Amino acid sequence: MQSLPRMRSVGLIGAGKMAKAIANGILSTNRAAELSRDKSIKVMASCPREELLRALPDDCRSTTNNLETVENSDLIIIAVKPDVVRSVLDEICPKIDPKKHVVMSIAAGVTVSTFEEALPAGTNIVRVMPNIACEVREGATVYYTRGESNELGQITQAVFAPISPICQRILDEKLMDAATALSGSGTAYVLYIIEALVDAGVRQGFSREVALRLATQTVQGAARLIHDSGRSPTELKDYVTSPGGTTSEGLFVLEKYAVKSAIHDAVHSARKKSDVLR
């Protein structure tokens, strides 16, 4: 991880699934780079549930006191559920120093203006939408900040690029909700498709274990084909679909059940849900 002068310590408010994924990602990057103690990024997390704090990596400091996290961190990442964000901001606001702190939020649907209203004037704010695959350094992340600050972009890249091969700045905040629906929630859609393939494989006579390995590798291989060939999914799909063949039969059934429309609707509904969360 790049060591930016001001960002020596990261404090996570919340210690759930995403906070753990980010903490694991940052700390494993520290370890992989074999950074000396003074160069590595310190990570601390807080939440009211001690059992979640105990599940964090050993080199992540933890506390049940959010203010302690703020006092010990340069970069504060708000990783609580959207409906808790406002009360957390009210709690930490007195300890936020706009000259020292950058506040980053990964909460779905909560806009930058919510943070501006709740925090001291001039606080640097970044809205980020990662996904759970950050845990295995395969995340897809987008972020938004007001203005054109390169430094905030660099800080975001420093934290997320090592755990997220895509870490893309977005210029229109409305697209943050679209990203939440597409890539933030998208891991679950792909897992749902893998689950369906596994069930279908079991129905055809495979053990669940073999069906899972086949389905998982098939999804991984398809993604790799797109990535490595630079060809579109449509091109690659047409390439593997022989006239009158088995794949064509399978695709016909997916069309008949309007699977593509269902995915459109799923992403659209997920995006609309962001409006309700704020």
Question: Which residues carry a binding-site annotation for NADPH?
Answer: 66
| Residue 174 makes contact with ligand NAD by CB under 6 A | no
User: 12, 41 in Cβ contact below 8 A?
Assistant: no
Instruction: List binders of ligand NAD among 126-145 (CB under 6 A).
Output: 129-132
Determine the Cα angle at 230 with ends 161 and 256, to 5°: 105
Place of tokens 């001690």: 50
Choose which of 10, 11, 14, 76 interacts with ligand NAD (CB under 6 A): 14
Q: Return the amino acid letter for 272.
A: K
43, β-bridge pairs: 10
Question: First CA to last CA across the chain, in angstroms?
Answer: 33
Instruction: List binders of ligand NAD among 182-221 (CB under 6 A).
Output: 184
Q: How far apart are CA 68 and CA 45, in angstroms?
A: 9
Choose which of 1, 7, 10, 15 interacts with ligand NAD (CB under 6 A): 15
| Residue 39 makes contact with ligand NAD by CB under 6 A | no
Instruction: List binders of ligand NAD among 51-80 (CB under 6 A).
Output: 52, 66, 79-80
Choose which of 4, 8, 9, 16 interacts with ligand NAD (CB under 6 A): 16
Nearer to ligand NAD, 132 or 161 (CB): 132
- Of 105, 12, 119, nearest to 62 by C-alpha is 12
Q: What is the DSSP letter of 41?
A: P
Minimum separation from the CB atom of position 173 to ligand NAD (A): 16
The one segment of 54-62, 124-132, 218-226, 257-265 that binds ligand NAD by CB under 6 A: 124-132
Nearer to ligand NAD, 55 or 262 (CB): 55
Residue 228: burial class (beta carbons within 10 Å; 0-12, 13-18, 19+): exposed
Chain residues in the site for ligand NAD (CB under 6 A): 13-19, 46-49, 52, 66, 79-82, 84, 88, 106-108, 129-132, 184
